Amino acid sequence: MELALRRSPVPGWLLLLPLLLGLSAGAVIDWPTEEGKEVWDYVTVRKDAYMFWWLYYATNSCKNFSELPLVMWLQGGPGGSSTGFGNFEEIGPLDSDLKPRKTTWLQAASLLFVDNPVGTGFSYVNGSGAYAKDLATVASDMMVLLKTFFDCHKEFQTVPFYIFSESYGGKMAAGIGLELYKAVQQGTIKCNFSGVALGDSWISPVDSVLSWGPYLYSMSLLEDKGLAEVSEVAEQVLSAVNKGLYREATELWGKAEMIIERVKRGQTQRPACLAFSVRLCQRHVRHLQQDALSQLMNGPIRKKLKIIPEDQSWGGQATNVFVNMEEDFMKPVISIVDKLLKAGINVTVYNGQLDLIVDTMGQEAWLRKLKWPELPKFSQLKWKALHSDPKSLETSAFVKSHKNLAFYWILKAGHMVPSDQGDMALKMMRLVTQQE
């Protein structure tokens, strides 16, 4: 385990401007406080396995970063880059056009983006044997990174620490959260772990796949024949999972995606909501190396960071990350969520109303399978309407919460909630972190 002390003394998003204009990036701007600062580095989590992280200190004009929470963001895939997608497309200070994001979470929290599993984004491995193959290894690697991070950044040891996630990142967040809880209890990691937020999460893959047909049919996006076709392959996925044939289940999941993608191509005039709901293929690991974002990450961002090895590119190992996790991909982790709840850890589930790959129907299905003793009381609660703009009468989301479990249903959002509904996502984060 090692941490090379390579940090930027410059607020990073300002560094981008001279780079893009072709000017020298050698000038250093001195900052009197930690606010507005960002740092990044690699941690060697195992032999031949190097994980990249990028931290932004909160920039709230009324509060010091020490008065605000620290949020770690985990992307999906597996193979999706937090430092790329989460940072520049969802919650970071700049969007992918390098323009300030009005709904950046940085105004309410410090942000830690981590490219995991190893091989994702700017993280990399030397040798095929170093890729993670299961959730246990993913969580173990993250414990090495978090121990190193909090040991070197003691200023964050007492700050409330939350793990927010998206898609497969939610599955990883559950496993990581449970291991972090144990590490904190044992005293091996010093941090103020305060909860996990599972966004559009791949907690029970088969429940999601089984709901695809009914969901699309209810939105008039499948006719009877299409529903039968999607439902048939979904049942095959269920059978494979029940038999413990998880690699086969992953292959069948891919077949189900292809069927829905074919249905999508067959639509000549598609409802506006379809732009959200069909993101399953556009946003998944096969398309993680979007040209525009890849050019940004492998161009100006790479030059800014300075520490990326010459033989590594952003997203270059993403496909290998997914392939190595194929056996683990379709395994459910409902039992881990149960353990989190039993331990008293705050668990937030949030979902985009118009997401397909992890639709709300599927989320509600696995929630009903929890063995948490308080589940009956939670289930009896009525949804409470939320408004992203207090002056507006339009409902932006629904929420219900009981004890240490909360569920947010974000309206007019797809798989990437902060990208689709930035104001509501920021409000939700503030509510989860007890700032509202």
Q: Does 343 or 220 have the greater pLDDT score?
A: 343
Q: Is the pLDDT of residue 267 over 70?
A: no
Active-site position among 388, 415, 419, 420: 415
Beta bridge partners of 351: 409
- Chain-centroid distance of CA 15 in Å reads 26
pLDDT, tens only, 358-370 = 999 999 999 999 9
- For the stretch 175-218, pLDDT in tens is 999 999 999 999 999 999 999 999 999 999 999 999 999 998 88
Selecting among 355, 359, 396, 420, the annotated active-site residue is: 355
Q: How confident is the model at residue 36 (pLDDT cuts 50, 70, 90)?
A: low
pLDDT tops 60 at residue 277: no
Residue 87 φ then ψ, to 5°: -70, -60
Q: What angle separates helix 224-242 from helix 246-266, to the nearest 10 degrees? A: 170
Between 93 and 13, name the one with better pLDDT.
93
CA separation (Å) from 371 to 95, 178, 226, 340, 349? 41, 17, 35, 12, 16
Mean of the per-residue pLDDT values for the chain?
86
Res. 27: pLDDT tops 50: no
Q: Start-end ranges of CATH 3.40.50.1820 in the chain?
A: 12-204+299-304+329-432
Least confident piece of the model among 150-164, 325-339, 384-398: 384-398
Name residue, tokens 């089984």: 210
Encoded tokens for 349? 């589930």
User: What is the Cα–Cα distance from 325 to 92, expressed in whole angstroms?
Assistant: 27
Q: pTM for the whole thing?
A: 0.87
Give catalytic status of residue 284 as yes or no.
no
Cα–Cα distance for residue pair 290/323, rounded to 1 Å: 19
Beta carbons of 134 and 325 less than 8 angstroms apart: yes
The predicted structure's pLDDT at residue 420: 93
pLDDT at residue 150, rounded to an integer: 97
Q: Helices 205-218 and 246-266, interaxial angle, to 10°?
A: 20
User: Per-residue pLDDT tens for 372-390?
Assistant: 999 999 999 999 999 988 7
Q: Residue 357 has what pLDDT?
A: 87
Q: How many CB atoms lie within 10 A of CB 313?
A: 17
Q: Is the preceding omega at residue 117 within 30 degrees of 0, hence cis?
A: yes
So what's the pLDDT on residue 290? Answer: 57
Q: At 264, is the pLDDT very low, low, confident or very high (cuts 50, 70, 90)?
A: low
Q: What is the CA radius of gyration of the chain?
A: 21
Summarised one tens digit per residue, pLDDT across range 158-172 is: 999 999 999 999 999
CATH number of 12-204+299-304+329-432: 3.40.50.1820
The residue annotated as part of the active site, out of 81, 167, 211, 419, is: 167
pLDDT at residue 19 tops 70: no
Catalytic, 415? Answer: yes
Confidence grade of residue 258 (pLDDT, cut at 50, 70, 90): confident
Question: Nearest 5°: CA angle at 194, between 37 and 380?
Answer: 135
pLDDT at 274 over 80: no
Where residue 257 falls among pLDDT bands split at 50, 70, 90?
confident
Residues 113-138: what's their mean pLDDT? 96
What per-residue confidence (pLDDT) applies to 265? 56
